[in-house]
Amino acid sequence: MTDETNAYDAADTGHVWDDNLRELTNPPPRWWTIAFHASWIFVVIYGILYPMWPTFSGYTKGVIGWTSIGEYKESVAQLEEIRGPFEAKIAQLEPAAILADRELANYTDASVKVLFGDRCAPCHGAGGQGNPGYPVLADDVWLYGGTADKIVESIVNGRQGMMPPHASRFSDQQLDDLATHVAGLADGKEHEAGKVLYTGAGACFACHGMDGKGNQALGAPNLTDRVWRFDGSLEGIRHTIAYGVNAPGVPETRNAVMPAFADQLDETEIKKLAVYVHRLGGGQ
Ligand code: HEC
Ligand code: HEC
């Protein structure tokens, strides 16, 4: 190549290998030279404008005074400017009024999602979809009530439903009858002996209602809706009846404790969470 494109008149360094392999002194291509100079000029200008060179006591600050913390503060200030009016409104309004204002409710959802993820999701699931032993918040079925006020109450004071154990009061056969009766309620299938116990000696009706539809004042769930707080198999239902819920001194009892958040969250946070939870599920 060298031989053909550069006749013997091309300038060289005088070095020759293998008889005819010469080292030429052609300048590099123009684009390369331009790029080379542009890059060091850029570095020098950048170093003048922005913080860059280390010195004995720190670093050069740059003539335009840019700092990354300054840029961060500026974007936070911009964000606060957008948030401010929303936050002020939320502070003044009741949860029900926030829910009625679509824009405010959307803002609330967005701003409290992370808090829900930190404080509530470990038990209730990231989208409020529940976990074994922890109630679903993203449906229309409520133990204590799905109005904004009831949800606030649940968050502020916590909840701890109580159902007495029945294992020592009834025979195995009676527990089976009760469980069969309860399991059939959703399909309108009553079990005669079970029904007698449910509405009589078992006193189940006192909390769950004669019709089995529950009582939100007690957190006693509706037993006719196919939604099960705990294991909803025949065996699981029998277990709940036998050992109760949060029954003191009964190791097999179902545990259901919702901690109180009154001391851990401020009023606005609780309000926002109630709005968020209501919008996940909502209703009564
Ligand atoms: C340690 C687990 C745990 C954490 C954390 C937790 N919960 Fe609960 N939550 C429960 C349990 C258990 C219940 C059901 C209590 C019962 O059955 O009596 C419950 C019940 C509720 C209820 C009532 C549901 C109904 O059907 O009436 C609401 C509302 C609720 N939680 C919201 C929240 C919110 C909001 C947070 C976050 C601030 C939260 N929970 C954090 C365990 C938890
Ligand atoms: C003192 C009130 C009370 C009495 C009496 C009572 N329960 Fe309950 N029961 C509850 C409460 C409260 C819960 C839910 C606890 C929770 O979720 O925190 C519950 C839960 C249940 C569950 C679990 C429901 C689910 O969704 O997993 C079943 C089943 C049940 N009860 C059946 C009965 C039967 C049958 C009787 C009568 C032998 C009875 N209960 C008596 C209060 C009561």
H or E segment to which residue 21 belongs = strand 21-24
Which residues contact residue 67 at a Cβ distance below 8 angstroms, ignoring those fewer than 6 apart?
51
Classified as helix, coil or strand, 176 is helix
Distance CA 68, CA 72 (A): 6
With a 6 A CB cut-off, is 208 part of the ligand 2 pocket? yes
Smallest CA separation from ligand 2 atom 43, residue: 163
pTM of the model: 0.80
CB 99 within 8 A of CB 278: yes
Average confidence (pLDDT) over 250-254: 96
Residue whose C-alpha is closest to residue 162's, from 228, 204, 220: 220
Confidence of residue 12 (pLDDT cuts 50, 70, 90): confident
Confidence of residue 8 (pLDDT cuts 50, 70, 90): low
CATH class, 86-159+262-280 region: mainly alpha
Q: Above 80 in pLDDT, residue 4?
A: no
Smallest CA separation from ligand 2 atom 40, residue: 204
Tens-place pLDDT, residues 84-126? 889 999 999 999 999 999 999 999 999 999 999 999 999 999 9
| Structural domain boundaries in the chain | 86-159+262-280, 172-243
Output the CA–CA distances (angstroms, integers) from residue 218 to 144, 159, 178, 205, in the order listed: 7, 10, 21, 12
Confidence of residue 13 (pLDDT cuts 50, 70, 90): confident
The single-letter code of the amino acid at 152 is V
Shortest-distance ligand to the CA of residue 284:
1
CB 129 within 8 A of CB 136: yes
CB 256 within 8 A of CB 133: yes
Q: Above 90 in pLDDT, residue 7?
A: no
**pLDDT score recorded for residue 241:** 96
Ligand 1 centroid–CA 258 distance in Å is 5
**pLDDT score recorded for residue 125:** 93
Confidence of residue 5 (pLDDT cuts 50, 70, 90): low
Average confidence (pLDDT) over 66-87: 90
CA 198, 202, 203, 208 dihedral sign is negative
**pLDDT score recorded for residue 25:** 84
Domain 172-243 sits in CATH at 1.10.760.10
Same fold: 86-159+262-280 with 172-243: yes
DSSP 62-104: -TT---HHHHHHHHHHHHHHHHHHHHHHHHHS-HHHHHH-HHH
Q: Above 70 in pLDDT, residue 283?
A: no
Mean per-residue pLDDT over the chain, rounded? 91
Residue predicted with more confidence, 22 or 266: 266
**pLDDT score recorded for residue 284:** 52
Average confidence (pLDDT) over 147-164: 95
**pLDDT score recorded for residue 36:** 96
Angle (CA) 255-251-166 rounded to 5° is 85
Ligand 2 centroid–CA 166 distance in Å is 11
